[in-house]
Amino acid sequence: MRGYAGSVRILHVSDCYLPRLGGIEVQVADLIRMQREAGHEVEVATATPGEPLPGVHRIVARLPFDLPVHPFGTGHLLRLMAARRPDVVHVHAGAVSPFAWMGARAAVRAGLPAVVTVHSMWDPVTRGLYRGLRLLFEWQRWGLVGTAVSEAAARPIRAVAGRGVPVHVVSNGLDVSGWRPAEPVRPMPDGGEADGGETEAVPTGGAGVHVVAVGRLAPRKQPVRLLRLLKDARAQVPPEVPLRATVVGDGPARAQMERYLRNNGMTGWVSLPGRYSRDQIRELLASADVFVAPAPRESFGLAALEARAAGVPVVARAQSGVADFVHPGKEGLLGRSFEDLVASVARLARDRGLRESIAAHNRRTEPVASSWPAVLEGFDRCYEQARTTKR
């Protein structure tokens, strides 16, 4: 890292961390692992209870439902920072993250450089909350350096923070090579290969068009609306085109989704297999023809990025963070409305040539901005800017 000699001491602060397995928790854990592999000294402070882990400081209060909040977190964090003396404090916040913002406040009081990554999309209510906190605490004067995971997520933060807080876009990280499909070569009719033995690899899978979605089945993700999207798309696809769908994930909306499938006669072609491991998702994507990420307020869309890296055409909202790595007609199709998404899924289901051209593009090209080397370099620049601000 520029400006530092040798390894850097980094303290991450996050409300939620392992053993919880949400998007922020997994991304922070992967970032810590990659920074350690790069030679840095990395620790994390969290309000999430759990078993002891190397370099993990659990600042936990006994609260109902194991809420990742501590009423005296700032004091605990100040003492931890005084003891560990990190070169930089990296705070990870969702929409509302009391413990994370205590970490930002503690870093400012300790005179330490601080970078704040916002992993969520600020909706109008959240923007109003942070405007109020800005008036109350004047956090725009703390010398923070902000990052967001996409341009869509960065815009509302910049609108609230103003010129006092630089807000950069640093993508979520992905081991891109780990998602690249291992595709068998389709043999020629005579059992041989094409001239010169160079036949384009064609992914194999089950019969018909396979539509896949992956995510937590929570009301804010609108999973029942996803099922309606599939139902409406099926109505726009000729009956002779077989269509099947797999919606991976678990959560409180699962029972409602199961009722919707039964009431609409969709149980024969839409399955809800539950939560999958990364290896299982990788195997599923090898048989997918279309990936759908319909949430309008998706700050990034890691599952969609995994699908794009695996070579699958992606259908998503143009207003979401997915638009950073999916461009219409190249990596997939984007829509500004529910009806646009329905039409896009139906179009890909009907048009095999379009599906295969997008899939071939996705297999040939990598989403470089989301590779770990690019992500680590992006954070290095933010750490240096935060350090310079503190001089």
Q: What is the CATH number of the domain that holds 144?
A: 3.40.50.2000
147 and 203 share one domain: no
196 and 222 share one domain: yes
By residue count, the chain amounts to: 391
Tell me if 282 is assigned to some domain.
yes
Show the tokens assigned to 127.
């923007």
Q: What is the pLDDT of residues 154-205, one digit of tens each?
A: 999 999 999 889 999 999 999 988 898 875 433 333 333 333 333 233 333 4
169 and 181 share one domain: no
The pLDDT value recorded for residue 391 is: 61
Mean local confidence (pLDDT), 133-137: 91
Identify whether the C-beta of residue 119 lies closer than 8 Å to the C-beta of residue 300. Answer: yes
145 and 183 share one domain: no
Identify whether the C-beta of residue 44 lies closer than 8 Å to the C-beta of residue 57. Answer: yes
Residue 140 has pLDDT above 50, yes or no: yes
Tell me if 299 is assigned to some domain.
yes
Task: Mark 293-331 as b/e (b = at least 16 C-beta within 10 Å).
Answer: bbbbbbbbbbbbbbbbbbbbbbbbbbbbbbbbbbeeeeb
Tell me if 3 is assigned to some domain.
no
Residue 51 has pLDDT above 50, yes or no: yes
Residue 1 has pLDDT above 80, yes or no: no
266 and 296 share one domain: yes
The pLDDT value recorded for residue 280 is: 96
Tell me if 254 is assigned to some domain.
yes
DSSP 240-278: TS-EEEEEE--STTHHHHHHHHHHTT-TTTEEEEE---H
Which sign, positive or negative, has the C-alpha torsion 306, 308, 311, 317? positive
Q: For residue 38, with 0-12 CB atoms within 10 Å meaning exposed, 13-18 middle and 19 or more buried, which class applies?
A: middle
132 and 276 share one domain: no
Q: Which range of residues forms the domain containing residue 99?
A: 9-173+371-389
Tell me if 226 is assigned to some domain.
yes
Q: For residue 183, with 0-12 CB atoms within 10 Å meaning exposed, 13-18 middle and 19 or more buried, which class applies?
A: middle
Q: Which residue has the higher pLDDT, 189 or 153?
A: 153
10 Å Cβ neighbour count for 15? 27
CA distances from 316 to 42, 175, 286, 303, 304 (A): 35, 22, 19, 11, 8
154 and 41 share one domain: yes
Q: What is the pLDDT of residues 210-258, one digit of tens each?
A: 999 999 898 888 899 999 999 999 999 999 999 999 999 999 999 999 9
Percent of the chain predicted with pLDDT > 70 = 92
Tell me if 4 is assigned to some domain.
no
- Report field, pTM of the whole predicted structure over 0.95: no
117 and 86 share one domain: yes
Tell me if 295 is assigned to some domain.
yes
Tell me if 1 is assigned to some domain.
no
The pLDDT value recorded for residue 169 is: 98
Mean local confidence (pLDDT), 128-156: 95
Give the ranges where 59-173 is alpha helix by DSSP (H). Answer: 73-84, 98-110, 124-137, 151-161
**In what helix (H) or strand (E) does residue 384 lie, and over which residues does it extend?**
helix 372-389
At 360, is the secondary structure helix, strand, or coil?
helix
Total domain count for the chain? 2
72 and 183 share one domain: no
Q: What is the pLDDT of residues 321-358, one digit of tens each?
A: 999 999 999 999 999 999 999 999 999 999 999 999 99
Q: What is the dihedral of CA 12, 372, 201, 273, to 10 degrees?
A: 0
At 368, is the secondary structure helix, strand, or coil?
helix
Which sign, positive or negative, has the C-alpha torsion 74, 80, 85, 89? negative
- Residue 71 amino acid letter: P
34 and 125 share one domain: yes
CA distances from 358 to 142, 214, 284, 329, 348 (A): 45, 20, 18, 7, 10
147 and 207 share one domain: no
DSSP 201: B
Alpha-carbon distance of 31 to 276, in angstroms, equals 22
Mean pLDDT of the chain: 90
122 and 60 share one domain: yes
